[in-house]
Structure 1
Amino acid sequence: LQAAARNQARGFTDLALFEVGPVFAGGEPGEQALHAPGLLVGATAPRDPYGSRRAVDVYDAKADAEAVLAAVGAPQKVQI
């Protein structure tokens, strides 16, 4: 969230940020999981005189999640 706030303060209002890394639930080996959180803010398309812009929504986030899963070889029948 800090990265999004910094970018918006600098005038970058349309953002798509994500990060992949381990999340630790305890101090023992095996008590961690790999997470891939993301953040979408602003509009879907770049500023373009020929295109229309709309605010990002949950369906844009779902499409991004499905694209990441497909890129890593996850089965296509994953329910999100």
Structure 2
Amino acid sequence: MAELRYTLNTQLEQLHTRYTGTGHPDMTKYEWLQHQHRDTASAIIGHPSLLAYISVADNECQARERFEVIERMLQPCGKPPAKTDD
């Protein structure tokens, strides 16, 4: 039983190192939301048809839209909340 728990923990650690957006128990709501927004933005940039759709909807060229999406990836949810001392 201890070996099974060890392998599950190591598999979970490998998953978290490979995919940073998968989360962990200490992740805050802000961090989770930030990962979701960045994942969506990278999907938009990675799929030219999505980028074309958004550029037509915003009446901007694709290069300008790509630049704006990349800029939004810096702080997709605004400034982080103030940390509280527990």
**TM-score (ref. length: structure 1):** 0.32
Q: Which has the higher contact order (CA 8 A, sep 6+)?
A: 2
The structure having more radius of gyration, on CA atoms, is 2
More helix by share: 2
